[in-house]
Structure formats: structure tokens, C-alpha cells
Amino acid sequence: MSQKDTRYRSKGNLADRYEVSERTIDRWREEGKFPPPDLVLPSGSPRWSDDTITAHERALVGKSAA
């Protein structure tokens, strides 16, 4: 049985995904509307795992359905 490889997304990738600017991703993080990154590269660049993004999106859908 093989273990699933974790994929990480950059802030730019997420900005493209949500059709917003990278600054908007920063604002969402500052406002607590977006999860903290799973890791930060030595350069300071944040990265989010697909699992974190999926959980965040599912939580948002659950909130809007309530």
C-alpha cells in the first residue's frame, strides 16, 4: 500500500484558485478567514497542503448551508 504524496500550494496558486490577489490571501489570514500555512519555506514563502485547503473549503460550505 503506497502512501499519498502531500502536495503544497503557494499563495500565488491559491490567489489564482480563488481569483483574488495575493494580498487578499494575506488579508484573509490576518482576519482569521483563512488557515495558517502548513509550512514556511526558508525564503519565508508560505505553503498550504491540499488537505488543509480541502478542509477549509468544506468548512466554508458547511457554514453557508447553516
Q: Between these two residues, 35 and 64, which has the higher pLDDT value? A: 35
Tens-digit pLDDT profile for residues 19-48: 999 999 999 999 999 999 999 999 999 999
CB atoms within 10 A of CB 57: 12
**What domains, with CATH codes, occur in the chain?**
8-65 (1.10.1660.10)
- Enter the C-alpha cell of residue 66: 447553516
Give the whole-angstrom CA distance, residue 65 versus residue 40.
Answer: 33
Instruction: Read off the pLDDT of each residue in 8-13 and give the average, rounded to a whole number.
Output: 97
Question: What's the whole-model pTM score?
Answer: 0.83
